Structure 1
Amino acid sequence: MSISHTDGVLLGAAYYAEYQPYERLEADLDLMADAGLGLIRVGESVWSTWEPQDGVFDLEWLLPVLDGAHQRGIRVLLGTPTYAVPPWLQRKHPEIAVRLRSGRSVAWGARQEVDFTSPVFRRYAERIVRRIVGRYATHPAVAGYQVDNEPGLHLLHNPEVFASFVARLKQRYGDVATLNERWGLTYWSHRLSSWDELWPPEGNTTPSYDLAWRRHQADLTTEFIAWQAAMVRELAQPGQYVTTCLAVTRPAVDEVGVNRALDVAAGNLYYTAQDELALPDPGRRHDGGWFGQGVWQLFQSADRARGAKQAPYLITETNATSIGGSHTNHPPYEGQLRQVAWALVARGARLVEYWHWHTLHYGHETYWGGLLGHSLEPGRVHGEARRIAGEFAAAREALRGLEPDAEVALVRSTESDWAFQHQPPLAVPGTLNPDPRSYARIFGAFYKGFFDAGRQVRVLSVPQLHEAGTAEELAARHPVLVAPALYAADDATLALLDGYAHAGGHLLLTFRTGYADEEARARAEVAPGPLRTAAGVHYLEYSNLRAPLPVRAAEGSGLVLGPGARAEEWADGLVVADAQPLAYYEHPHFGQWPAATTKAYGRGRVTYAGTLPDSAFAAALAEFVTADVAGGLPRWGDRPASVTVASARNADGDRLWFVHNWGWEAVAARPPEEVADVLSGERFAGGQGVPLGSWDVRVLRAQRRDSRP
């Protein structure tokens, strides 16, 4: 398998000729070609068009779209329609409807209403997938396949799913005595004497049960996508790839697990535009929602997308204009589409595809804007897309084989996220209500710290951490490793982190890391458990903070804190053994404990943050843990507050700098080395100001003596 556009970057759009209010296929395709679109996504949402009645197929309606695209040099990503079932299937087999936690079945009328594990559903799904792929696999326009769409929307509470869950538990634990012990079922008289006494999940309050249930649900989604991918590959042609479009906030998805069966990771990346993309933004926090706010969340989402397979990825959906609904009409300012497209490329995207080409005239997503509005006339947004596509084409050789740089790796734990959704450590801001988005807030706070400090991040999953090799190899590849709130972790993972630091890496630990085991049971040892010796601190108590606390740097610590730095939400009562305090709370009670510490350990170092840092505190910690990274990237020095810089190496070994100005005021940024603008050919000496207009981006190539722009 090869991804046909790995050497370059394509701009594309989802296209639904079947949704248009009148026949305009040729006009649409001409406009796409004129705009330089290189790929369209088709077919994934219209099972009832492919199969209007049970066993009655209409496969030819798509042929003119594929033929017309091929004639204009536009590639096609062909979708399977299994996420949007037709009315006749729901009426014929109402038993395949999703059962929710409440016991209620999901009423038909939206999408993803069916239990995709049902053998009945699978039979119909296989039939339509084989028909579609069998018909079009040999069409020269088809570059690849998207199986299903945004899977994992529901946690399935159907009786058959619960039965498969019990079978999984039997296989893992062997007998109920072991399950009783591992889950602590003595509590509240939950001890089982036989497997048929296991209560259904809708009544569950046991954390270990909940974590096992979430693992099972994600595995079901992974298996479903793998099942479709294997089926498609039987029929696909050499060189065609298989992917799906992920929405990583879906409750039944493990983004790393589901991508193992796919050739390339792909997903949607939506963001809030206009002033939400302005920098600086010191107060923004990650709310854990689908539509990220702030430039740093755009980059975080991109780094997660690349982290799914540690490889180039596709953006199969992103903003064209307004997103969300009829009451949220906030199209990007002039220049912001271009900024975002280049930011995604900087972090490894090989396709930036808008959802969608034309704004729909009916249906639930009537006001989810496309490159063309309801008038279907090209305007400002179409013109900006045309500019982006032209720049991608002009920069094709420079972008070949692009590998984003990273100076720090953040370990993301899906299982800790699930565990925190059941027992959140944080409250919803301004309330005493538990916040199921706690993990996203904690991970986001530390990501933002490195982003604000101008450091680039690679996101690793816990399984990928183990796959990276020995502790020594991990330390050699990732000189700084951050484990934010790695709560549900087995002994082997914590031992690897310990070994990583001892072998020479700088490990940044945070509150809640190492606190629970792989069953989400609080460890019966002094926190931070197996990492206590490495960290050089321990704690016997902790507290949520009702209000932010100022923090001050410890004298001689080397941590540089501004006057506005604060600790928020949480405080571990850290007792120092042989670590060095970095910062203290300014408070009559909490001030007895350090807010952060550091310790030399073996050939490396362990830094511990016992609180949720605000933006200033997080950036200071990021600066501290990366200060001694050998062979780091050249620094751009004092950048205007609205400017970000990202970098990557291409197949020729050249470094590309992606320099953005996220604001209205024209500015200049000074590169640390001689560069040439990839698009204009302008040259700038090291230290010379590179001008940027409002909402502007420059793509610069570092100049070697034998290189040319």
Structure 2
Amino acid sequence: MPTVRLGAAYYAEYMPYDRLEADLDLMAETGLTLIRVGESVWSTWEPRDGVFDLDWLRPVLDGARARGIGVLLGTPTYAVPPWLQRKHPELAVQLRGGRRVAWGARQEVDFTSPVFRGYAERVVRQVVGRYADHPAVIGYQVDNEPGLHLIHNPEVFAGFVARLEERYGSVEVLNARWGLAYWSHRIGSWDELWPPDGNTTPAYDLAWRRYQADLTTEFIAWQAGLVRELARPGQYVTTCLAYTRPAVDDVALNRGLDVASANVYYATQDELALPDPGRRHDGGWFGQGVAQLYQAADRARGSKQAPFHVTETGATSIGGAHTNHPPYEGQLRQAAWALVARGARQVAYWHWHTLHSGHETYWGGLLGHSLRPGRVLREAGRIARELAAADEALRGLVPDADVAFVRSAESDWAFQHQPPLARPGGGYEPDPGSYTRIFGAFYQGFFDAGRQAAVLNVPQLPRSAEELARAWPVLVAPALYAADDAVLELLEGYARAGGHLLLTFRTGYGDGEARARAEVAPGPLRAAAGLRYEEYANLREPVPVRPADGSGLRLPARAEATAWADGLIPEGAEALAWYEHPHFGRWPAATTHAHGAGRVTYVGTLPDAAFAAALAEFVAPGAGVRQLWSGLPDSMTVTSARNAAGERLWFAHNWSWTPARIVAPEALADVLTGERIAAGAGIGLGGWDVRVLRSEG
């Protein structure tokens, strides 16, 4: 079995004519070792109620087996057939305001319904039962990109009320915990709880989002259980996640799966160039910038703190007929190696052939509409050959990390309901992407400073502060707003035990119900941070910042604070940077404070790229690949990982058209060519190039 599989989604049933053997031959010639099949065609598996056609897939599986290509078999439950929606129109998802999702796309039905579950179980058992013993099938993908809708169907709401009664016990407790005296929202009995359609209470919204994510988690776990009853030993179960889905908690969902799988799409061409001072941090379906590609990979690995699979990534153009931006020559290869460097054990393109009909007609595959091999397929072939050449070196690869980022799904949900930031541009429109924007800005800063990161989700935090401090010398907690006392006490203890904790604005401000704390901010972290603040403001325009005298913060002249300003009042903390402004200049923009055996650095604003990178260098001064690989051009990144043999691999990328040359800091070997490189020797990279190097020291 290859260490890293390279593959594509393959839909022979979508082809305009029979070319199965030619396709499989071309895949084998290209070096693909995986295809994903079957997840989108329930109406092909079961064209009429209770009438199954299962044999159409066998030639695909047989052909894949004959060529040594593994198959990821999908269950088709996310795309229901017309006969089912006609027979049971009551299964349609009901959205906020009572509007029902009309059939004609996908994921239109309430998957919590026992009626739907009956049909879903039947087709899953038929498909998996038929092919579980086929030697080509190496694993299963249950459903596809779950959690698309927040489901408002009456039965779902009834389940939500029951969950609240179980959690809170009485309406009196609920009234107090949610603050329902406000606007006369107190309820006298559980049947008085209003539906979420018009809700404005933050604690209610957070509970609703938790419940919706729980429903998705339970649905995927239910399907995984069905598949495991039928699967043979050694086959794995996964699903593919789109992290932008509103009803997903990736950590909880992946506990019931064997491997975390993510769909990683990214903007290409000049959006993938460095340097890029105008980069965006707003995440989204198509991340902008090199750092967001790495952040997506680190988040996918963080879902289970283990190697992950990429079930979908872009081959050529992604999106609609108006978004045709195929990658420049070399960018496909660069992205593949970036994902592998951060822990991917599978990189699969969506998809093999560009569709000739349907909603995604212009979502480009490895083959275009002509179905003739071209530049993109040739580049995929190069990637496949390189992965095969590096197979032994990639075994057991664990990415290095200098810092851990604490991620909070609940803070993200809370900020979607009450965004603290306005949309960029100086207006007053709220930005529901505030959390990803804040998280991304700080991740970007560490990335630009050459510090490698891991994503550690709140439920994955150890109970022991000492254990956390031993594992991670630097911990960043961006916008940890919806957090109970126990989590904040752990962070305080982490710094006291010797860790360097970086806090940002809004961290510690809310409690576990997303209520503003009735104490001086930053609440339980006030003493550890050595400061308080009594007011804050949104910034409509960026404000320049300057380093505090003697602070040690190396801040470039162009650095700016954006979007937000806490009015920080030091209580033992030392200023790191000051606002240059007639009003905000009375307060520091960032501070640092010794706490126990460790330190707490607090940033009261959303730093621009230059400010964020300077903060990263201050917080983690002895870390980062740039300490070893001195003189790296601005267009280059170097990341690292260790393999099962204990060897360190270096992944050097040149994200530009201009060839670059770097100096080997130690004796190295090129994993792909076998070339030996002496310490101090030059290493050349072409435009949009990548080198995979092994330390020989």
Shorter-chain TM-score tier? over 0.9
Match of 1:703 in 2: 696
Cα shift at 1:106: 0.4
Q: Tell me the amino acid that sits aligned with residue 434 of structure 1.
A: P
User: 1:633 and 1:703, CA in 2 relative to 1: closer, same or farther beyond 3 A?
Assistant: farther
1:644 to 2:637 alignment? yes
Q: 2:526 aligns with which of 529, 532, 537?
A: 532
Match of 2:653 in 1: 660
CA contact under 8 A between 2:10 and 2:351: conserved in structure 1?
Answer: yes
1:352 to 2:347 alignment? yes
What is the distance in 1 between the residues matched to 2:625 and 2:366?
40
TM-score normalized with structure 1 length: 0.97
1:452 to 2:448 alignment? yes
Cα shift at 1:287: 2.0
Match of 1:707 in 2: none
Residues 377-416 of structure 1 mapped to structure 2, 5 A cutoff: 377-416=372-411
Match of 2:231 in 1: 236
CA contact under 8 A between 2:509 and 2:516: conserved in structure 1?
Answer: yes
TM-superposition CA deviations, 1:299-331 (whole Å, max 9, x none): 000000000000000000001000001011000
User: 1:632 and 1:476, CA in 2 relative to 1: closer, same or farther beyond 3 A?
Assistant: farther
Match of 1:486 in 2: 480
CA contact under 8 A between 2:543 and 2:562: conserved in structure 1?
Answer: yes
Q: Tell me the amino acid that sits aligned with residue 58 of structure 1.
A: D
Determine helix, strand or coil for the equivalent of 2:97. Answer: coil
TM-superposition CA deviations, 1:662-694 (whole Å, max 9, x none): 000001122322111101111222232210000
Match of 1:115 in 2: 110
Determine helix, strand or coil for the equivalent of 1:551. Answer: strand
Residues 97-136 of structure 1 mapped to structure 2, 5 A cutoff: 97-136=92-131
What is the distance in 1 between the residues matched to 2:185 and 2:374?
63
Cα shift at 1:13: 0.3
Q: 1:681 aligns with which of 674, 677, 695?
A: 674
Cα shift at 1:347: 0.3
Match of 2:64 in 1: 69
What is the distance in 2 between the residues matched to 1:579 and 1:635?
32
Q: Tell me the amino acid that sits aligned with residue 655 of structure 2.
A: W
Q: 2:597 aligns with which of 600, 603, 610?
A: 603
TM-superposition CA deviations, 1:322-378 (whole Å, max 9, x none): 000101100000000000000000000000000000000000000000000000000
1:558 to 2:552 alignment? yes
What is the distance in 1 between the residues matched to 2:180 and 2:78?
38
CA contact under 8 A between 1:407 and 1:632: conserved in structure 2?
Answer: no
Match of 1:435 in 2: 431
TM-superposition CA deviations, 1:5-43 (whole Å, max 9, x none): 5xx111100000000000000000000000000000000
Q: Tell me the amino acid that sits aligned with residue 684 of structure 2.
A: P
TM-superposition CA deviations, 1:215-244 (whole Å, max 9, x none): 000000000000000110010000000000
Determine helix, strand or coil for the equivalent of 1:102. Answer: helix
Q: 1:573 aligns with which of 567, 570, 574?
A: 567
Match of 2:663 in 1: 670
Cα shift at 1:508: 0.1
Cα shift at 1:288: 3.0
Match of 1:270 in 2: 265
What is the distance in 1 between the residues matched to 2:677 and 2:147?
49
Cα shift at 1:635: 1.9
Determine helix, strand or coil for the equivalent of 2:210. Answer: helix
Determine helix, strand or coil for the equivalent of 2:161. Answer: helix
CA contact under 8 A between 2:450 and 2:625: conserved in structure 1?
Answer: no
TM-superposition CA deviations, 1:60-99 (whole Å, max 9, x none): 0000000000000000000000000000000000011000
Q: Tell me the amino acid that sits aligned with residue 527 of structure 1.
A: A
What is the distance in 2 between the residues matched to 1:25 and 1:700?
38
What is the distance in 1 between the residues matched to 2:559 and 2:100?
49
Q: 1:517 aligns with which of 488, 492, 511?
A: 511
What is the distance in 1 between the residues matched to 2:270 and 2:395?
33
CA contact under 8 A between 1:634 and 1:672: conserved in structure 2?
Answer: no
Match of 2:279 in 1: 284
Determine helix, strand or coil for the equivalent of 2:639. Answer: strand
Task: Number of aligned residue pairs: give it.
Answer: 696
Match of 2:196 in 1: 201
Determine helix, strand or coil for the equivalent of 1:230. Answer: helix
What is the distance in 2 between the residues matched to 1:352 and 1:162?
39
What is the distance in 1 between the residues matched to 2:164 and 2:322?
46
Percent identity between matched residues is 76
What is the distance in 2 between the residues matched to 1:56 and 1:283?
56
TM-superposition CA deviations, 1:530-579 (whole Å, max 9, x none): 00000001000000011100000001001000000000000000000101
Q: 1:582 aligns with which of 572, 576, 585?
A: 576
Determine helix, strand or coil for the equivalent of 1:328. Answer: coil
Cα shift at 1:285: 1.9
Determine helix, strand or coil for the equivalent of 2:516. Answer: coil
> Which stretch shows the higher mean deviation, 386-395 or 668-677?
668-677
What is the distance in 2 between the residues matched to 1:428 and 1:567?
15
Match of 1:547 in 2: 541
Gaps of 5+ in 1: 705-709
Residues 5-44 of structure 1 mapped to structure 2, 5 A cutoff: 5=2, 8-44=3-39
1:227 to 2:222 alignment? yes
Determine helix, strand or coil for the equivalent of 1:179. Answer: helix
Q: Tell me the amino acid that sits aligned with residue 672 of structure 1.
A: P
TM-superposition CA deviations, 1:233-277 (whole Å, max 9, x none): 010000000000100000000111110100000010001100100
Match of 2:290 in 1: 295
What is the distance in 2 between the residues matched to 1:674 and 1:582?
39
Cα shift at 1:628: 4.5
What is the distance in 2 between the residues matched to 1:669 and 1:411?
33
